[in-house]
Structure 1
Amino acid sequence: MMFEHTSKEKGLWRGWLKNGQSVEVSWGKRGWDFGAGVHIHGNDDDMGDRMLCVKVWRLAIYLPLGIVQHPWPAMEGPQWSTYASREFGLTFSWGLRRKSFDWPWAWHTVAYEVMMPNGTWEPIRYSFDEGGANSPYKEVHPYTYNLRNGTVQNRMATITKRRRVMTWRAFKALGWPRWIKESIDIQFDGEVGERSGSWKGGCVGCSYDLRADETMGAALRRMEQERKF
């Protein structure tokens, strides 16, 4: 038998060889990738696992190419590869050197802002005077979440309104044309969701997209109905 043992989970299959290396096949990720390369990753024996990686659309295959010396720092793994990715653009790697180029149509954030009490927008920063005149506009609403076991969680949600001003990366120097995406930022006064009270912990804060002409409170009520934690 080729494999000592195998495992399978959602979007991932692995098969381990006798030398400790493994064949890995993953699929179903968001976005897309194309390309191939040879990667070397450090293993528990201070050696290097050399692998051939092939990526086609949402499928990635890693094939072992033997165990080699690993003189590089423990957390650094060289690779000789070329990849085209929806998220990361075009990337060339040679050993520990890497050069990447963003797609000209990729989104670039020109500004990330929060709404103030007078309706104006200020850049997001951590030096706001909480509760003072320079504090962002906030609303506090009750929030109810029903766990699968029937337990009802009653929380108070403090929300602010935020927006991202974006343009295409090719036009970032001009900052035009622009698109604006608004959302609410939510902070709960206690954990929310199925992991509440566990070592992983429930959700204590998140964000949710605003629809056109939707109020902050209406967006929170919609999230209350739609989002599962």
Structure 2
Amino acid sequence: MFQHTFREKGLWRGWLKNGQSVEISTAKHGWDFGAGIHIHGNDDDMGDRMLFLKLWRLTIVLPMGVIEHPWPAMDGPQWSAYASSEFGLMFHWGMSSKSFDMPWFLHTLAYEQQMADGSWISVFDPDAKPYAEAYPFTYTLKSGKIQNRIATVSKRRHVLCRRMFKMFGWPRWIKESIDIDFDGEVGERSGSWKGGTMGCSYNLRRGETMEQALRRMGRDRKFR
């Protein structure tokens, strides 16, 4: 039935004679429920019409033939309806789509940065300059080479609630993090055309200082 097949962890694919394939995949995280038909443009200026079925973390893609297709390669219309733990309720009709967040999804009431006097100002305020501290930061590449950088660290926080309660703004809770800027590229891609990391963020634990969070990130995080 299949000309050849391919398998890796979480994915199996089998190719038919017309170039289309049957695909079965499993996601590690999240969930989806629903179904639809998607048309993918291919390199022959034709369209691969496919039926996809989503059930929890399982996705099955079944071929439905090759059709004439005027859209660009790897783009095309979709007719579907499904619920997703990441995107909420999704509806597609042709080239149009509409999504609706689930009522229990998190909603950001405020995204703020800490100032020198301890107050909090919106990160979108162009005149606000957050309080920052600078620390030496070292990162060891797989080759054993050590990168020495200066990390400038400031504190940010998300004020959150469930979307169903956003009009009340309660119950709410706060998630703090550090925002980090390096004075040079960090990670395995440093110096390449892809480039290393110049900045990132990291969750801040209760009672932890910005420096302590930076050092914990240095021990636990790997940069590509």
Unaligned runs of 5+ residues in structure 2 are none
Q: How does 1:1-229 map to 2 (within 5 A)?
A: 2-71=1-70, 76-125=75-124, 127-128=126-127, 134-229=128-223
How far apart in 2 are the matches of 1:119 and 1:191? 30
Structure 2 contact 140–147 (Cα < 8 Å) conserved: yes
- 1:28 deviation in Å? 2.8
How far apart in 2 are the matches of 1:137 and 1:197? 30
Q: Percent identity?
A: 67
* Residue identity in the other structure for 1:153: Q
* Residue identity in the other structure for 1:201: G
Q: Which moved more, 1:37-46 or 1:5-14?
A: 5-14
The one-character-per-residue Cα deviations of 1:52-91 (angstroms, maximum 9, x if unpaired) are 1011212212111101122457675222222111111122
The count of aligned residue pairs is: 223
How far apart in 1 are the matches of 2:186 and 2:142? 12
Structure 2 contact 77–93 (Cα < 8 Å) conserved: yes
- 1:167 deviation in Å? 0.8
User: 1:104 is paired with a residue of what secondary structure?
Assistant: coil
- TM-score, with length taken from structure 1: 0.89
- 1:5 deviation in Å? 3.6
- 1:212 deviation in Å? 0.4
- TM-score, with length taken from structure 2: 0.91
Change (3 A) 1:6 1:75: closer
How far apart in 2 are the matches of 1:21 and 1:198? 36
- 1:93 deviation in Å? 2.5
How far apart in 2 are the matches of 1:220 and 1:20? 50
How far apart in 2 are the matches of 1:19 and 1:33? 29
How far apart in 1 are the matches of 2:5 and 2:77? 27
Q: Which moved more, 1:194-203 or 1:91-100?
A: 91-100
The one-character-per-residue Cα deviations of 1:33-69 (angstroms, maximum 9, x if unpaired) are 1111111122222221100101121221211110112
- 1:10 deviation in Å? 4.5
Change (3 A) 1:226 1:73: closer
Partner residue in 2 for 1:131: none
User: 1:149 is paired with a residue of what secondary structure?
Assistant: coil
User: 2:213 is paired with a residue of what secondary structure?
Assistant: helix
User: 1:219 is paired with a residue of what secondary structure?
Assistant: helix
Q: Which moved more, 1:94-103 or 1:140-149?
A: 94-103
The one-character-per-residue Cα deviations of 1:91-150 (angstroms, maximum 9, x if unpaired) are 23233343332211110111111111111111112724xxxxx42111100111111221
How far apart in 2 are the matches of 1:139 and 1:17? 59
* Residue identity in the other structure for 2:152: T
